[in-house]
Structure 1
Amino acid sequence: MSEYIIGIDVGSSKICAAAGKLDKYGRLQIMGITSANCNGVKKSIVVDIDSTSESIKQCIDGLERMIDIKITEAYISLPGGISELVWNKGVVAVASEDREIKANDVKRVIKASKIITIPSDKEIIGVIPQQYVIDGYDKIKDPIGMSGLRLEVDAQIILSQSTVVNNLFKSVDKAGIKVAGVVFQPIAISEVALKREEIERGVVLLDVGAESINIYMFEGGNLAGISTIALGGNTITNDIAVCLKLPFSEAEKLKIKYGSVGVDSNNNDFKIEVNADYNEKISVGCNTLKQVIEARVEELLYIISGELKASEHYEKISGVVIVGGGLALIKGIEDFSREVLQKPVRVGTPEYIGAASPLYSAAVGAVKDASDSMKDRNFIAKKEKETEKVQREWTREKNKKEKEEEKNNGGFITKIKEFFTDFF
């Protein structure tokens, strides 16, 4: 289990799980990925622990068969929609005598940034350092190894409702999986679906799920804002079911297999045979299905556009990236969204073999974030060991040199004493 990193994304319609490990060059490889249907989560909140834990267990069982190991712990992706960002600053004095900033100083300053007043029903689940400041010099990303007297951090504190997080943890624990850590979803997805240039320039990440749309705004290399719309892909499926008088499950299959929007070069109005209630089959026109889907997708996009335009970051947005299964899997969504949002749009997918689907962005992102943290910890530990080794060698050489000087000086003084003794 030690060589594998497991990430789990608990969504409103699906549980996705990914397994990855680092190769000998330190690069992440995704070794397995799977999903299972889930009915115990509504709008990113667990409403049925038993049902959710059963779905997690089913998903993990499938992943275990793929990678042929027993999974006992995993990193959980926590949706941004159930979280709140609060800005705060931490300040500490550098502890070492030589004024070199070490990993422990960074830990202390991050801990200091957590000292804020929070409501009784919420808890701190993480900290995102935005920049470090050393003796007044800002925009420092990694202060370890640098010299200074005073270390500050400007950080975003992630708050979430205690009951919501506890119910999620209980669901995972009941499935027989230990929570190894929590990964903040917008950061996790950005690592596998966004380009560094996009994050620096300004980009919107649309995570469209079954029952909610999470809008994450990035600017200047950092997460700048979060907003949530309580609508998602299920509203499209529900429209198909109502308009065409189909069961919800059949409407979902139709949407996934034949769903499209915008101008289609192969505009053939062929008939699709679908199972209706009571084992009765009906024919559905492809154009009719497309009209139903287009009407709802257009409405969702206009709601998203209104949310973006109301934001202070709208003018700095260079593009929009769509992930999740609510909109990203619909054919023609990029061009159709571009017309409504008036911004460049693309579908974000993880660039890993076997995981190149917008559905798996959060699960793969959780694995990536956890693996990066492990590499950072190993690098810091290695760096500190090397520094200690150099310090020991330097101290040894210094002591040796001092002893030699004492010995030489001692011999010289003895000769002087003997000279004066003989003289007098």
Structure 2
Amino acid sequence: MDTSGMYVGLDIGTTSIKVIVAEYLEGQLNVLGVGNERSAGLSRGVIVDIDKASEAIKNAVKSAEEKASIEIHDVVVGISANMLKIEPVNGLVAIGDQAREITDQDVRDVAAAAIIQNLPPEREIINLIPDEFVVDGFDGIKDPRSMVGVRLEMHGMLFTGPKTIVHNTKKAVEQAGLNPQLAVVSPIAQGLSILSDGEQDFGTILLDLGGGQTTAAVIHDHRLKYAEVDPEGGDYITKDISVVLNTSIENAEKLKRNYGYADATRAAEDNQFPVDVVGQSRPTEITEQYLAEIIEARLSQIFDKLKGQLAATNALSLPGGIVVTGGVAALPGIVDLLKADFDDVPVRVAIPDQMGLRHPSFTQALSLVNYRGQLNEIDLLVQSALAGNQQLVSQIAKKPAPTPKAQSQTEPQQAATATEKRNKQAPKKRGQGLKKFFSDFFD
């Protein structure tokens, strides 16, 4: 099956907003344009000011449009795993009194039947992922269409989040003039994109070290089984540096990027650099090791809290160990610190291998594009059944989201279809090594 298409990933982070326009040609990802702008209106991974957030999204989208020479209408947007609830669901529909071939509409109907429930008013459906279909008692079916039967069942996993988070994300995207074509829980997209088949199968902890929060997710049997969010991230490290050294937030951020180490044992004790201190006319000299001790203290505090929660789920014994990504993962020594704090669990850093995007802060935006490109027709049909319950999925279009400027439309394309044939063999992207560079990137 063909996997060609052009898609736009929108990563709304606390520190930065990233937009990536990419094209799939025969399963190969080709990045056409990137927008990377400083965030506004977010706190600890959640939108708290829709107006400011939408303006920042506009700026990032405009930058990506200029580089890709296209107009962006539809986007795939990531939803944070804050207070995420994961539960199994089952749907059952009668095909008819007599056996007939199962159609696309039957698949939509059984998916809709699986989500008929009394959700609490404060929660919203984000994703529904099918595990298998059952036709007249025959299970293990991945695509029941064209099969003959009188009864169709679907077993899947339902992902719901706080209505406030989902609504604010949707509203900010729409206010920026965009159509949130598809929403996905961020760790689901990351797990599918940056973990190998074996890591997804046997079990791996995915650790996303962002600017506003840290997310630990457990991927096992190719499914997101658990997610925990700690409301501390790179911004807290910057604030610690600012308070301890009595310097501005701007200076603290530069110090973290230019001289920071996650593991104090990796930093040089005799390497000194100047720090502008508030209230002093002359800079104060501090050592690289002292700065690293400040950074390590905050990171170890975050890791210790997550370790206890992960241990309670037996995730620390999974063969895949820990795969870490996010802007803070670029700190030198992060692997050593994680191994020390998590008792020598295997650790690797996931870094995109696309030219110009080889920094872990771009992993999420690329994962969103990868996720959309790897969805097959059944996935799209099932997800489209959420349209009546989850407003972020407003269309599953046959044609790709962005259109060339010469053929752009004034309104997003409204005609939707979910009958595009896709396979799930898009290549996995794995990071190789760790580079010490922070300039020109946001966490």
Q: Aligned to 2:367, what secondary structure does the other structure show?
A: helix
Larger Rg: 1
In structure 2, the partner of 1:231 is: 232
In structure 2, the partner of 1:177 is: 178
Distance 1:27 1:34, change over 3 A: same
Deviation, 1:233, is 1.9
| Bigger proportion of residues as helix | 1
In structure 2, the partner of 1:219 is: 220
Deviation, 1:41, is 0.9
Distance 1:380 1:7, change over 3 A: closer
Q: Distance in 1 between matches of 2:254 and 2:29?
A: 33
Trace 1:234-245 onto structure 2 (pairs within 5 A). Answer: 234-245=235-246
- Pair 1:347 & 2:376 matched: no
8 Å Cα contact 2:204-2:218 kept in structure 1:
yes
Deviation, 1:94, is 4.2
8 Å Cα contact 2:174-2:180 kept in structure 1:
yes
Code of the aligned partner of 2:263: G
| Superposed CA offset, 1:320-342 (max 9, x none) | 111212x3111111122012113
Deviates more, 1:212-221 or 1:91-100: 91-100
Larger relative contact order (CA 8 Å, sep ≥ 6)? 2
Deviation, 1:206, is 1.2
Distance 1:119 1:287, change over 3 A: same
Q: Aligned to 1:284, what secondary structure does the other structure show?
A: strand
CA RMSD of aligned residues (A): 2.8
Q: Aligned to 2:375, what secondary structure does the other structure show?
A: helix
Q: Distance in 2 between matches of 1:290 and 1:44?
A: 25
Code of the aligned partner of 1:340: D
Distance 1:340 1:163, change over 3 A: closer
Deviation, 1:308, is 0.7
Deviates more, 1:128-137 or 1:214-223: 128-137
**Structure 1 segments unaligned to the other structure (5+ residues):** 384-424
Code of the aligned partner of 1:129: P
Q: Distance in 1 between matches of 2:251 and 2:132?
A: 50
Distance 1:269 1:315, change over 3 A: same
The alignment's TM-score, normalised by the length of structure 2, stands at 0.78
Distance 1:84 1:266, change over 3 A: closer
Q: Aligned to 1:4, what secondary structure does the other structure show?
A: strand
Q: Aligned to 1:355, what secondary structure does the other structure show?
A: coil
**Structure 2 segments unaligned to the other structure (5+ residues):** 381-397, 399-416, 422-443
Deviation, 1:286, is 0.9
In structure 2, the partner of 1:301 is: 303
In structure 1, the partner of 2:386 is: none
Q: Distance in 1 between matches of 2:168 and 2:420?
A: 38
Deviates more, 1:302-311 or 1:64-73: 64-73
Distance 1:337 1:266, change over 3 A: closer
2:7 to 5, 8, 18: 5
- Pair 1:284 & 2:286 matched: yes
Q: Distance in 1 between matches of 2:146 and 2:275?
A: 65
In structure 2, the partner of 1:204 is: 205
Trace 1:4-403 onto structure 2 (pairs within 5 A). Answer: 4-23=6-25, 25-94=26-95, 99-146=100-147, 148-262=149-263, 267=268, 269-277=270-278, 281-316=283-318, 318-325=320-327, 327-342=328-343, 343-373=345-375, 381=419
The alignment's TM-score, normalised by the length of structure 1, stands at 0.81
Distance 1:95 1:272, change over 3 A: farther
Distance 1:33 1:157, change over 3 A: same
Distance 1:351 1:112, change over 3 A: farther
Q: Distance in 2 between matches of 1:375 and 1:90?
A: 19
8 Å Cα contact 1:192-1:351 kept in structure 2:
no
Deviation, 1:319, is 0.8
Code of the aligned partner of 1:295: A
Deviates more, 1:151-160 or 1:54-63: 151-160
Q: Distance in 2 between matches of 1:128 and 1:359?
A: 26
Q: Aligned to 1:81, what secondary structure does the other structure show?
A: coil
Deviation, 1:280, is 5.5
> Could you tell me the percent identity over the aligned residues?
29
Q: Distance in 1 between matches of 2:276 and 2:15?
A: 21
8 Å Cα contact 1:134-1:152 kept in structure 2:
yes
Code of the aligned partner of 2:167: N
Code of the aligned partner of 2:14: S
Code of the aligned partner of 2:299: V
Distance 1:382 1:262, change over 3 A: closer
8 Å Cα contact 1:259-1:290 kept in structure 2:
yes
| Superposed CA offset, 1:29-84 (max 9, x none) | 22222321113111222111122112112211221221122223322111122532
Deviation, 1:374, is 6.8
Q: Distance in 1 between matches of 2:112 and 2:63?
A: 39
Deviation, 1:266, is 7.5
Q: Distance in 2 between matches of 1:382 and 1:119?
A: 34
In structure 1, the partner of 2:409 is: none
Code of the aligned partner of 2:365: A
| Superposed CA offset, 1:206-263 (max 9, x none) | 1222232222111112111122222222222121111111111211121122211337
Q: Aligned to 1:57, what secondary structure does the other structure show?
A: helix
Distance 1:97 1:277, change over 3 A: farther
Q: Distance in 1 between matches of 2:319 and 2:130?
A: 22
